[in-house]
């Protein structure tokens, strides 16, 4: 990308962001095949993950837009690239949970796969050095992490997104167990950002409860690429 004269703005675990037009108002998100887990302690490569995740995110952003949810997505540029608005990001991740799994199962000392009576929304402070600690809304104002009204709006939007995605995956034979969302602000408007992919979701087959997401990489299970391809095939029908 640098050879095309594009300036790298940021490189994360799964994506690289480049300035699109020199003004800084739009970015190109380039999706990598790199895979990490446990705050970067485990690293590897998932073949074609970048292409799958770009396409999956594009499809799900379109699905959400058709249901009234605005995001930073503008258009797909290539197999691995999408054009997005440059938002002022919240340093907060929103994790929505419909079933017990991962850290929630450990924290509550229950087995994985228990359906929750209502969705749980957790907030985490984005800080790798601190291990992304869990916080609540009062931290936002106390530590100047953003406007509390923006974060509350994002939380409400996360609940709306949950219903849309949960219903979509249910119709396609999958349980939406949990997932991570990120938000930012553009011209005073709170908008969904980042990505929605098997990197950021737990999806299980409704019948077999087989994992169809990055947990296959985390837990050294085979068929990682096939899991991503399955989600790609499902979302490509949108």
Over 70: is that where the pLDDT of 41 sits? no
Whole-number pLDDT of residue 43: 81
Q: What is the pTM (predicted TM-score) of this model?
A: 0.94
Over 70: is that where the pLDDT of 39 sits? no
Whole-number pLDDT of residue 128: 87
- DSSP-derived secondary structure letter, 213: S
pLDDT tens column, 189-207:
999 999 999 999 999 999 9
- The rounded distance, in Å, linking the Cα atoms of 233 and 238 is 10
Paired residues of 36 in beta bridges: 43
Question: Which of 23-37, 184-198, 205-219 has the least mean pLDDT?
Answer: 23-37
Measured CA angle at 47 (ends 9, 236), to 5 deg: 85
Q: What is the mean pLDDT of the chain?
A: 94
Whole-number pLDDT of residue 36: 81
Dihedral sign (CA 185, 191, 194, 200): positive
- DSSP-derived secondary structure letter, 200: T
| pLDDT level of residue 51 (50, 70, 90 thresholds) | very high
Identify the structural domains of the chain with CATH numbers, from first to last: 2-85 (3.30.200.20), 88-223 (3.30.470.20)
pLDDT tens column, 136-148:
999 999 999 999 9
pLDDT tens column, 87-126:
999 999 999 999 999 999 999 999 999 999 999 999 999 9
Dihedral sign (CA 175, 177, 182, 183): positive
| pLDDT level of residue 44 (50, 70, 90 thresholds) | confident
């Amino acid at each position: 990308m640098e050879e095309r004269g594009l300036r790298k703005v940021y490189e994360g675990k799964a994506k690289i962001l480049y300035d699109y037009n020199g003004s800084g108002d739009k970015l190109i998100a380039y999706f990598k095949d790199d895979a990490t887990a446990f705050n970067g302690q485990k690293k590897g490569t998932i073949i074609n993950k970048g292409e799958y995740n770009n396409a999956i995110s594009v499809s799900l952003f379109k699905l959400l837009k058709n249901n009234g949810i605005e995001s930073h997505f503008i258009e797909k540029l290539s197999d691995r690239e999408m054009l997005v608005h440059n938002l002022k990001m919240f340093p907060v991740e929103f994790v929505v949970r419909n079933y017990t799994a991962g850290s929630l199962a450990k924290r509550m000392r229950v087995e994985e796969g228990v359906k929750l009576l209502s969705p749980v929304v957790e907030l985490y402070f984005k800080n790798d050095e601190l291990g992304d600690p869990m916080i609540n809304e009062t931290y936002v104002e106390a530590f100047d992490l953003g406007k509390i009204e923006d974060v509350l709006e994002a939380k409400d939007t996360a609940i709306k997104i949950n219903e849309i995605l949960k219903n979509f995956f249910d119709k396609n034979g999958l349980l939406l167990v949990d997932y991570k969302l990120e938000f930012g602000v553009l011209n005073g408007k709170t908008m969904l950002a980042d990505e929605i992919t098997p990197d950021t979701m737990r999806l299980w087959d409704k019948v077999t409860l087989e994992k169809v997401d990055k947990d296959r990489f985390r837990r050294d299970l085979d068929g990682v690429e096939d899991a991503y391809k399955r989600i790609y095939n499902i979302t490509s029908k949108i």
